[in-house]
Amino acid sequence: MVFSSIYFVFVFLPLILLIYYLVPKPGKNIVLAAAGLIFYAFGKPENLIFLLFSFLFNYLTGLESASLRSRGSEKAAKGVLIAAAAADLLLLAVFKYLADSMPLGISFYTFTVLSYLFDLYQGRAEVQKNPLYFLIYVSFFPKVASGPIVQYADMEKELAERTAGKKEFYSGFSLFLTGLFKKALIADALGAAFAASGGQGQPTVLSAWLTMIFYSLQLYFDFSGYSDMAIGLAEMFGFHFDKNFDHPYLSSSVAEFWRRWHISLGNWFKQYVYFPMGGSRVGTGRIIFNTAVVWILTGIWHGNTLAFLIWGLYHGVFVLLDRYVLNRLLAGIPKVIRTILTVLVTFIGWVFFFSPTIGEAFSLIGRLFGAGAYGFADNMSLFLLRGNLLLLIIAAFGCTEIPSKLYSRFIYENRFGLAERTVTVLHTAVCVFLLISAVAAMLAGTYSSFLYFKF
């Protein structure tokens, strides 16, 4: 089941919300746990075996570590946590590198349970003795398939006590509709354009640039749209997750880009890998080593091919260059130029994401600059550019802060002093527009899964 489906929007979600808001407080967590399992098992029930195993294995591990600590065996307790984390990683590696297919979201929920184990190890959280609370943490349907990767210490308190009222519902529903609009109208349209541009028999320089740009924008609207929907859904049930994207294509360095893109994954690696290794509080050589480890692991987490490893190293090199070379070299250059250069670097990096082989990735990168291309442009590439020019303009505009700032000033800050009733009507009208537009696109188009489902 995916968020951008008619069944989810008009059957599953309304039914779960209705039951959740009607049942008394003691039953709300039972509803969420059942919803998570139904959502995850939908379409492929056998995947539920692995999710439930992960839940039970790590829940019992936490209890065992607590028992050992209570008997004064601190070293043994930490050994149990380390052994369990190694087993979780081994299971993930088996599916990612040896199996023909992976259970949905295994990379995400494995990092979820590892967060729990590491938080226990670091003393950031207490052992969760309530199995229902821990099951919700692992299987919460807004985040189980593609994140965001919420650290256990950040979600621990709201598992037991949270508020889900009118304010949370409207705020979360608005964000959900924003994400649905991003996915159904913009990302899927960009996906169709990407497929068309990448299928040319005699690719030109222009078609190579269009292929790269279409995919880079599609990936952003697809994944940020999913994250908006997930965070909005969570808020409707009283959970407050931090944002996962912060206009990353406005970044003026690659390091800044990774503080704005897939924020939950970046924070996970900082908290559980980079900081324990010493972070930036060590010498230059060790900082370079720590950064390289993080980016190698980031590449491996994303995929099981050499292309993803190269992609991780590629970004790691630029993060180090930003730190030691480019921040001084480009200091006097206008920010808009630095932003354009950063976008170019990140867009080229995404070529490794969608290319079937390393050779094809480097071949397309070469064509961006004329190597191996059949001329600068042909009728097909010009046709694609003209036919998708408006889409590209809308997408570029949507990558900026302008839409959210305008909406905030009109609706949330009410800069024009409109009557509260008028503001409510305007906000409702926008939500209705987003919903109708998204549903129309979903009905008119074909099924399109989220890109990060494959990770």
Q: How confident is the model at residue 410 (pLDDT cuts 50, 70, 90)?
A: confident
Q: Which residues, other chains included, contact 236 with Cβ-Cβ below 8 Å and sequence gap of 6+?
A: 17, 164, 168, 169, 172, 173, 176
Residue position matching structure tokens 């960009």: 190
Per-residue pLDDT of 216-231, as tens digits, reads 999 999 999 999 999 9
Question: How far from chain centre, in Å, is Cα 74?
Answer: 36
Q: How confident is the model at residue 448 (pLDDT cuts 50, 70, 90)?
A: low
315 is catalytic: no
**Cα(346)–Cα(342) distance, rounded to whole angstroms?**
6
Q: Which of 262, 302, 315, 427 is catalytic?
A: 302
**Cα(343)–Cα(339) distance, rounded to whole angstroms?**
6
Sign of CA dihedral 203, 207, 213, 216: negative
Length of the chain: 455
Q: How confident is the model at residue 43 (pLDDT cuts 50, 70, 90)?
A: confident
Q: How confident is the model at residue 328 (pLDDT cuts 50, 70, 90)?
A: confident
Helix, strand, coil shares, percent, the chain, to 5:
75, 0, 25
Q: How confident is the model at residue 444 (pLDDT cuts 50, 70, 90)?
A: confident
- Cβ(318)–Cβ(256) under 8 Å? no
Q: What number of CA atoms fall less than 13 Å from residue 177's CA on the CB side?
A: 19
Sign of CA dihedral 218, 443, 231, 105: negative
Q: What number of CA atoms fall less than 13 Å from residue 344's CA on the CB side?
A: 9
**Cα(54)–Cα(90) distance, rounded to whole angstroms?**
12
Compute the mean pLDDT over every residue in the chain, rounded to the nearest whole number.
Answer: 91
Say what the pLDDT of residue 220 is: 96
Single-letter amino acid, residue 323: R
Which residue, 286, 285, 348, is CA-closest to 314? Answer: 348
Which residue, 349, 396, 1, is CA-closest to 221? Answer: 396
